[in-house]
Amino acid sequence: DIQMTQSPSTLSASVGDRVTITCRASQSISRWLAWYQQKPGKAPKLLIYKASSLESGVPSRFSGSGSGTEFTLTISSLQPDDFATYYCQQYNSYWTFGQGTKVEIK
Amino acid sequence: QVTLKESGPVLVKPTETLTLTCTVSGFSVNNPRMGVSWIRQPPGKALEWLAHIFSNDEKSYSTSLKNRLTISKDTSKSQVVFTMTNMDPVDTATYYCAGMQGRGFDPWGQGTLVTVSS
């Protein structure tokens, strides 16, 4: 099975900060990676698919990059609505989620 | 608009079998461009993929749980049915169904919290 490891687990940041979250796969997944945002009590929301494609309606401050085993999610200027937990997920071989990164207010 | 909604018991006893239903609207469960997965999330923990059914009725299961899981669909009712046998308190979680169109899970149902307790 493919394992997904996110870092950091928790990130403290301020409004306006540039934020980067890293996701590593235990083996190559090409670009078959998605990113989700989840707020308390809500279902996850798809932000990015195929490593760098922005889902319709998602603000352009979100971007994704990477291929193979290393991927990043970047928020260029953190907004109040962005404080949430973020998950990466591979869909190269079945489906696996990372353990999540909580972005909290500094 | 494509929507999914989970339904089923909120409380099950240890050793019992959990059966959840995902009712889909806005697309056919036989649509070749859409599959449906079940995903769970224990309180305060990460998401865990459980099972998937493709439009051609092919099924995939989590390696660690495959002996306990079954996924199927009822085309006439536009439903995807999920069962998990031998429930244990560690299986307490919010269970989601979600559509997969080859670009990630979207849309998601609202989720249903299932508690395992005697």
Chain B positions in Cβ-Cβ contact with residue A40 (cut-off 8 Å): none
Q: What pLDDT score was predicted for residue A79?
A: 97
- A–B CB contacts, 8 A cutoff, strictly below: 59
Which chain B residue has its CA at the smallest distance from A90's CA?
A: B104
On the question of pLDDT at A97 being above 90, the answer is yes
Chain A positions in Cβ-Cβ contact with residue B39 (cut-off 8 Å): 97
Which chain B residue has its CA at the smallest distance from A89's CA?
A: B104
DSSP category for residue A94: S
Percent helix, strand and coil across chain B, each to the nearest 5:
10, 50, 40
> Are residues B116 and B88 in contact, defined by beta-carbon separation less than 8 angstroms?
yes
> Are residues A99 and A21 in contact, defined by beta-carbon separation less than 8 angstroms?
no
Q: Report CB contact under 8 Å: B47, A100.
A: yes
Q: Report CB contact under 8 Å: B60, A94.
A: yes
Q: pLDDT tens for residues A19-39?
A: 999 999 999 999 999 999 999
Q: At B94, which helix (H) or strand (E)? A: strand B93-100
| Interface test mutation site (partner A, options B105, B112, B113, max chain A beta carbons within 10 A) | B105
Phi, psi torsion values for A25, nearest 5 degrees: -100, 150
The Cα of B44 is separated from the nearest Cα of chain A by a number of Å equal to 9
Q: pLDDT tens for residues A37-82?
A: 999 999 999 999 999 999 999 999 999 999 999 999 999 999 999 9
**Mean pLDDT by groups of 10 residues along chain B of 118 residues:** 95 98 89 91 98 94 97 94 98 97 93 98
The torsion defined by the Cα of A71, B108, B41 and A75, in degrees rounded to 10, comes to 30
Tally of CB atoms within 10 A around B89: 10
Contacts 24+ apart (CB under 8 A), A52-56: A53/B103, A55/B103, A55/B104, A55/B106
Could you give the CA distance from residue B70 to residue B53 in angstroms, rounded to a whole number? 10
Among residues A38, A43, A62, the alpha carbon closest in space to that of A51 is found at A62
Could you give the CA distance from residue A26 to residue A18 in angstroms, rounded to a whole number? 27
| Interface test mutation site (partner B, options A5, A91, A95, max chain B beta carbons within 10 A) | A95
Could you give the CA distance from residue A94 to residue B63 in angstroms, rounded to a whole number? 10
Q: What pLDDT score was predicted for residue B33?
A: 82
Chain A positions in Cβ-Cβ contact with residue B44 (cut-off 8 Å): none
Could you give the CA distance from residue A45 to residue B79 in angstroms, rounded to a whole number? 22
**pLDDT tier at A1, thresholds 50, 70, 90:** very high
Q: What pLDDT score was predicted for residue A22?
A: 98
